[in-house]
Amino acid sequence: MCLVSGSILQTAGLDNANEAGAYVMATQVVFTAVACVMMDKAGRRTLMAVSSSGMAVCISALGIFFAMGKKPSWLALLSLMGYVTFFALAMGPVPWLYMAEIFPDSVRGPACSLATLVNWAGGFVVTYFFASIISVLTATGVFFLFGAFCLACFVFVLGVMPETKGKSLQQIEQELLGETVVSALHNDDANDGRDDEEASLQG
């Protein structure tokens, strides 16, 4: 959203839209720093729930702004800055940490790479087709759609996402896969290691 904040503010009719866009970017920097402190205090799941619900409210408010004929002008900037604030608190930084915590050792590298690819591919699609989507759905429709996605994310966080704060990687694996499965996986890894060692000694 930060990538298109300038064009959004220009469409909203704000004077000095580029300067306002810089304030939006600065907001993201500040609250990303806040998130670094809050992750281990509030927890990943709590922050993600607050982040996604706040984003849903703010981006929907931006849709209301366009539905009201781009009035009042301050609502556009306030909504966008609020959206970026909530994004920076969790939805932006937490997934990068979270995916490294929930994937098992055996697939962590490829899985994190795939998740990163999907993330940047989604960002490309939103940025590249943003103007085209607005021409079809109107700005009001687009921002309400974004709000619906944020709300769906909120439901997903509460219904599916486990808390990983203060837990070791093995504890997280046991919660996600079950203790029996994790023990079997570690035993297989240990057996493979012994087999490799025996093969090297015999060779």
What DSSP designation does 70 have? Answer: S
pLDDT band at 187 (very low <50, low <70, confident <90, very high): low
For residue 198, the enclosing domain spans: 167-203
Torsion region of 147: left, alpha or beta (phi above 0 gives left; psi -120 to 50 gives alpha): alpha
- Residues 113 and 188 both lie in one domain: no
60 and 158, same domain (yes or no): yes
- Which domain CATH number covers 112? 1.20.1250.20
Same domain, 130 and 187: no
Helix pair 17-42, 44-67: axis angle to 10 deg:
150
Write the pLDDT tens digit of every residue in 45-61.
999 999 999 999 999 99
Question: What residues have CB less than 8 Å from 158, skipping those under 6 apart?
Answer: 49
Comparing CA positions, the residue from 119, 116, 141 lying closest to residue 130 is 141
What is the C-alpha separation between 199 and 46, in angstroms, rounded? 49
In 3D space, the residue among 139, 151, 146 whose CA is nearest the CA of residue 68 turns out to be 139
pLDDT for the residue numbered 120: 92
93-132 per-position pLDDT tens digit? 999 999 989 988 888 899 999 999 999 999 899 888 888 8
pLDDT of 48? 96
Positive or negative CA dihedral for 55, 147, 165, 123? negative
Contact 101, 169 (CB under 8 A): yes
Residue matched to tokens 């297989």: 188
Q: How confident is the model at residue 196 (pLDDT cuts 50, 70, 90)?
A: low
Average pLDDT over the chain reads 84
Average pLDDT over residues 158-184: 79
Residue 142 has pLDDT above 70, yes or no: yes
Instruction: Find tokens 């240990």 and name the residue.
Output: 190
Residue 23 has pLDDT above 90, yes or no: no
172, 151: one domain: no
Residue 183: what pLDDT? 54
For residues 199 and 99, membership in a common domain is answered with no
Please indicate, yes or no, whether residues 178 and 109 belong to a single structural domain of this protein: no
**Could you tell me if 184 and 93 lie in one domain?**
no
Residues 195 and 113 in one domain: no
Q: How many domains does the chain have?
A: 2
127 and 184, same domain (yes or no)? no
202, 133: one domain: no
**176 in the same domain as 91:** no
pLDDT computed for residue 170 by the predictor: 86
Q: Are 54 and 135 in the same domain?
A: yes
